[in-house]
Amino acid sequence: MHRKAPRLARILACAAVPVMLVVTGCSSDSGDKSGDTGAAQEKGGDKAAESAAPPAEKTPDVEPAKFAKLPDACRSVPAKTVGELVPSAKVKGGTAGRSTDTMSRSNCSWNGLDDNGVEGSQYRWLDVSYLRYDSEQALAASGAQRAQDNFTKELSKAQSTPGAKKVKSAAAKGIGEQASTVTYQLRKTGEDFSYVTVVARTENVVITLTYNGTGYAGAQPPAVADLTEKALGAAKESVASVKAANK
């Protein structure tokens, strides 16, 4: 009986050891491997997402505006030219329009009645206006592009003058980067007026020059062709004044 007891104890101890080792080993290995696999998958997913995401697009730089300022509108047309287009102008130096920002917009006008006695009188009116545009990075538009858009708007505005008759448009060469004329007739104050508007663009500046006239006391209104020729000459000088102001 004394011999069997130690032997039985040894058998039971040996039987218990494998069970403890299996349980301990399984719980330890299972926890470590699952944690490593999840971390690896998470890191791999982050890298895949980063590689799949498109690179952020950079807004392209726009070309800076060429002209930084405008000329004095009342001096943009030479006095000699004003004398030819508006004889007997009330204000020789012109009347400046109101503007809170003369670096971006300005205009000047002249008008006068030339009395020719028994041959009647001739009335003339001349107006020149400037609009300057800066480049806009936020809009991805250069000053020249913005001016080109406004050139189209100003031209359309002249073509759709309320009450205008016999409206005609034509491209004008040799004046800035682009220019067009709009001619029409308009009846007001009981008289027939002849009109010509020249819209021109030089880089980031738009110039609109309007010249009109009529005859009083039996005098005939001026010929549109004559007004157009004189207006084109004044428009060229107006464009040149922009370049001169920015030297």
The CA distance from 167 to 214, in Å, is: 17
Token match 């039985």: residue?
Answer: 8
- What three-state secondary structure class fits 58? coil
Q: Which amino acid would we find at residue 19? A: V
* pLDDT digits 0-9 by tens, 44-98: 555 555 555 565 556 568 899 999 999 999 999 999 999 999 999 999 999 999 9
Instruction: State residue 17's pLDDT score.
Output: 46
Instruction: State residue 10's pLDDT score.
Output: 52
Structure tokens at 35: 């944690």
The CA distance from 140 to 135, in Å, is: 8
The CA distance from 198 to 139, in Å, is: 28
* pLDDT digits 0-9 by tens, 201-234: 999 999 999 999 999 998 999 999 999 999 999 9
**Under a CB-based contact definition with an 8 Å cutoff, are residues 229 and 196 in contact?**
no
Q: How far is the first Cα of the chain from the last one, in angstroms, to the nearest whole number?
A: 125
The whole-model pTM stands at 0.75
For the chain, the structural domain boundaries read: 1-53, 73-245
* pLDDT digits 0-9 by tens, 104-125: 999 999 999 999 888 899 999 9
In this structure, which topology does domain 73-245 adopt according to CATH?
Protein Transport Mog1p; Chain A (3.40.1000)
**Under a CB-based contact definition with an 8 Å cutoff, are residues 242 and 147 in contact?**
no
- DSSP codes, 91-145: STT-EEPP-S-TTTEEEEEEEEEEE-GGG-EEEEEEEEEEEE---BTTTTB-HHH
